[in-house]
Amino acid sequence: MENTAIYQVQKENSELRVCFVSNELAYFGDPEQSEQFVRDIIGQLTNEIGQLIMDLNALSHVNSSVLGVFVKLKKNLPDRDILYGIVGANPAIRKIMELTRLSWLLLD
């Protein structure tokens, strides 16, 4: 499991789960850090991984930088079937995702 102050990465069977553990979303406002995050996550997608899940249970809100990272991850997925999406979004986050037409990312 990879740990940062912002998120934890957990691998279990064929699932890679990124659990956001802090509302310190300014981390993703830095283009260099957000690009590094995308590279780090994509780099962990071995052939055994069939699911990439963003777990937002600990977040009270998201900003445009975080939404941009979710889209970048989707665009950078390898050319094979990987289930990708978001779980644990609270009603406020769900509403933002609907307004920005990203509700297709929601898995629950």
pLDDT of res. 29: 83
Residue 1 has pLDDT above 80, yes or no: no
**H or E stretch at 37:** helix 31-43
pLDDT of res. 96: 95
For the stretch 51-99, pLDDT in tens is: 999 999 999 999 999 999 999 999 999 888 899 999 999 999 999 999 9
User: Do residues 88 and 108 lie in contact, with contact meaning Cβ atoms separated by under 8 Å?
Assistant: yes
For the stretch 85-94, pLDDT in tens is: 999 999 999 9
pLDDT of res. 54: 95
For the stretch 6-22, pLDDT in tens is: 899 999 999 999 999 88
DSSP 5: S
CA atoms in the 13 A half-sphere facing the CB of 94: 9
For the stretch 25-52, pLDDT in tens is: 777 888 898 899 999 999 999 889 999 9
- Domains defined along the chain, listed by start: 2-105 (3.30.750.24)
User: Do residues 34 and 65 lie in contact, with contact meaning Cβ atoms separated by under 8 Å?
Assistant: yes
Specify the 3-state DSSP secondary structure of 55: strand
pLDDT of res. 102: 95
